[in-house]
């Protein structure tokens, strides 16, 4: 089945074309245009994001469709939320026109289900038939992005129970805000994690301060990062950065604190639900420290981690097309018992 995916929920305009069945996928194209206009604001500006999507979506579509070899499309998978409403509408309007033109239906997709299923793809190569990883019976999905921090219990495809959520800032947003305090460019995640890695490889850490681990012992699965962010703000007010070493240490201490909370809550959710796997997804899944810590605790606690390939940690239409396929509303062999068996 050939599916064309469309993603415009935030600041990435994405279109992908895939040839997919229950066990494998061939990526025919996957184009993402990331808007850079927001860099000067240090965050995404919704009205500007909408304008940029409108400017770019036709060209992104043309490029993706052309690269795919202009195949006959069987269905359109479209992100319908969550996301910035003005941005989402650009994708919706575009999809409606395209669906009329091609005479195919639209499969509405939840953006987070895209991130959630993205780690089923074990490798990334265009025009190659790739077998999916086996869908676990019970898994915990750790979704870490600029808009979300969620722990989701997966009891089969489409059967999701949200265990925990952020009560304020998402983890990616916290990375972005702390980056701004440190005069680092937007998006801040990659910049902070680079400095933190440098600090680790040089054995640099704080000697006389420590940042809090918010809600570590709250007894539930929720997260909060605004207290951590505020404590960094106060720390920087009282201890202005004097050199690169200071910056590296703050970046490391922040990353250590934020990731420790996420890892500990994830392990607890795995043990409590008897899950065998953690499926990682979202932009922050690109973070090396998070990946290493997750692998370390997986070994200790005997579970398996599915990491998403780097090309689809951030927002993209490929994961939307995949989620669209597995979540079609017409009769689907995998939906008989509500479980995805690969
Ligand atoms: O999933 P995504 O592309 O967009 C949303 O749906 O929000 O996630 C973007 C977020 C940004 O906050 C960015 O700073 C963060 O992912 N990010 C990282 C890294 N790469 C991207 N955060 C930490 N470490 C990274 N290496
Ligand atoms: Zn996302």
Is pLDDT above 70 for 333?
no
Whether the predicted pLDDT of 77 surpasses 80: yes
Distance 287 CA to ligand 1 centre (A): 8
The ligand 1 site (C-beta within 6 Å) comprises: 10, 145-147, 172-173, 175-176, 187-190, 193, 282-284, 286-287, 314-315
Tell which atom from ligand 1 comes closest to the C-alpha of 146: 7
Model confidence at 330: pLDDT above 70: no
Which residue is closest in CA terms to ligand 1's atom 22? 189
pLDDT of residue 156: 86
| Nearest partner of 322 among 14, 61, 54, 53, judged by Cα | 14
Q: What confidence tens digit (pLDDT) does each residue in 86-115 have?
A: 999 999 999 999 999 999 999 999 999 999
Residue 58 vs residues 13, 28, 63, 90, 237: alpha-carbon distances, Å: 10, 18, 9, 11, 46
Asked if the model's pLDDT at residue 332 lies above 70, the reply is no
Res 336 pLDDT > 50: no
Do 241 and 250 touch, CB atoms closer than 8 A? yes
Chain length of the chain: 342
The arrangement of strands across the sheet holding 304-306 comes to 160-165, 149-154, 139-144, 277-281, 304-306
Q: pLDDT higher for 261 or 185?
A: 261
Nearest Cα residue to 244 out of 292, 199, 278, 214: 199
Sign (positive or negative) of CA dihedral 282, 284, 286, 291? negative
Torsion on CA atoms 92, 97, 98, 102, rounded to nearest 10: 140
Atom of ligand 1 nearest to the CA of 282: 1
Lowest mean pLDDT among 2-11, 44-53, 88-97, 230-239: 44-53
- The residues near 269 (Cβ < 8 Å, ≥ 6 apart) are 140, 151, 153, 163, 164, 221, 275
Confidence of residue 227 (pLDDT cuts 50, 70, 90): very high
Q: How far is CA 60 from CA 28, 31, 55, 321, 341, in A?
A: 14, 6, 10, 15, 33
User: What confidence tens digit (pLDDT) does each residue in 105-162 have?
Assistant: 999 999 999 999 999 999 999 999 999 999 999 999 999 999 999 999 999 888 899 9
Could you give the count of Cα atoms lying within 13 Å of 50 in the half-sphere of its Cβ? 12
Q: Which ligand is nearest to the CA of 112?
A: 2
CA distance 326 to 333: 10
Residue 282 alpha carbon to ligand 1 centre in Å: 7
Check whether 329 has a pLDDT greater than 70: no
Q: Please give the mean pLDDT across all residues of the chain.
A: 93
Share of the chain above pLDDT 90, in %: 89
> What is the spatial distance between Cα 15 and Cα 202, in angstroms, rounded to a whole number?
41
Contacts of 87 (CB under 8 A, 6+ apart): 8, 9, 10, 11, 46, 49, 50, 53
What is the spatial distance between Cα 322 and Cα 25, in angstroms, rounded to a whole number? Answer: 9
Alpha-carbon distance 11 to 255, whole Å?
A: 24
Q: How sure is the predictor about 41, in pLDDT bands with cuts at 50, 70 and 90?
A: confident
More confident residue, 342 or 230: 230
The SS3 of residue 239 is coil
Q: Distance from the CA of 277 to the center of ligand 1, in angstroms? A: 22
3-state secondary structure 41-75: CCCCCHHHHHHHHHHHHHHHHHHHHHHCCCCCCCE
Residue 332 to residue 334: CA distance in whole angstroms: 5
Q: What is the pTM of this model?
A: 0.93
Quick one: tokens of 91? 């994708």
Look at residue 100 in the predicted model and tell me its pLDDT.
Answer: 96
Q: Judge whether residue 335 has pLDDT over 90.
A: no
Least confident of 28-42, 45-59, 184-198, 306-320: 28-42
CA distances from 28 to 125, 127, 336 (A): 9, 5, 29
Structure tokens of 301?
A: 């606690």
Sheet strands side by side (includes 75-81):
105-110, 75-81, 2-7, 12-20, 24-34, 129-131
Q: How confident is the model at residue 341 (pLDDT cuts 50, 70, 90)?
A: very low
Q: For 271-311, what is each residue's pLDDT tens digit?
A: 999 999 999 999 999 999 999 999 999 999 999 999 999 99
Supply the pLDDT for residue 340: 34
* 50 close to 38: Cβ distance less than 8 angstroms: no
Ligand 1 atom at shortest distance from the alpha carbon of 11: 4
- Containing 210, the helix (H) or strand (E) segment is none
Question: For residue 250, is pLDDT > 60?
Answer: yes
Give residue 229's pLDDT band: very low, low, confident or very high (50, 70, 90). very high
């Amino acid at each position: 089945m050939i599916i064309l995916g469309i993603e415009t929920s935030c600041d990435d305009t994405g279109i992908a074309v895939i040839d997919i069945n229950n066990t494998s996928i061939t990526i025919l194209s996957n184009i993402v245009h990331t808007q850079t206009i927001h860099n000067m604001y240090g965050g995404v500006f919704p009205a500007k994001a909408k304008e940029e999507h409108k400017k770019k979506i036709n060209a992104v579509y043309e490029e993706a469709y052309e690269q795919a070899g202009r195949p006959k499309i069987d269905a359109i998978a479209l992100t319908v939320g969550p996301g910035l409403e003005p941005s989402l509408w650009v994708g919706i309007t575009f999809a409606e026109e395209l669906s009329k033109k091609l005479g195919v239906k639209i499969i509405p997709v939840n953006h987070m289900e895209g991130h959630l299923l993205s780690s089923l793809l074990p490798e990334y190569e265009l025009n190659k038939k790739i077998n999916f990883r086996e869908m676990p019976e019970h898994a915990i999905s750790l979704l870490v992005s600029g808009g979300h921090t969620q722990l989701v219990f997966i009891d089969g495809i489409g059967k999701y129970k949200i265990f925990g959520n952020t009560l304020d800032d998402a983890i990616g947003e916290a990375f972005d805000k702390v980056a701004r305090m440190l005069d680092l460019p937007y998006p801040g995640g990659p910049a902070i994690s680079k400095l933190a890695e440098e600090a680790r490889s040089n054995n640099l850490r704080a000697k006389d301060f420590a940042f809090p681990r918010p809600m570590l012992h709250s007894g539930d699965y929720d997260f909060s990062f605004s207290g951590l962010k505020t404590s960094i703000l106060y720390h920087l007010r009282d201890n202005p950065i004097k050199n690169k070493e200071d910056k590296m240490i703050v970046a490391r201490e922040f990353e250590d604190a934020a990731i420790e909370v996420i890892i500990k809550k994830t392990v607890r959710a795995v043990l409590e639900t008897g899950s065998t796997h953690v499926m990682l997804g979202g932009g922050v899944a690109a973070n090396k420290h998070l990946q290493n810590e997750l692998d370390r605790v997986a070994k200790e606690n005997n579970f398996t981690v599915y990491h998403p390939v780097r090309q689809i940690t951030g927002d993209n239409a490929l994961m939307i097309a995949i989620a669209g396929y597995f979540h079609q509303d017409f009769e689907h062999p995998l939906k008989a018992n509500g479980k995805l068996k690969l």
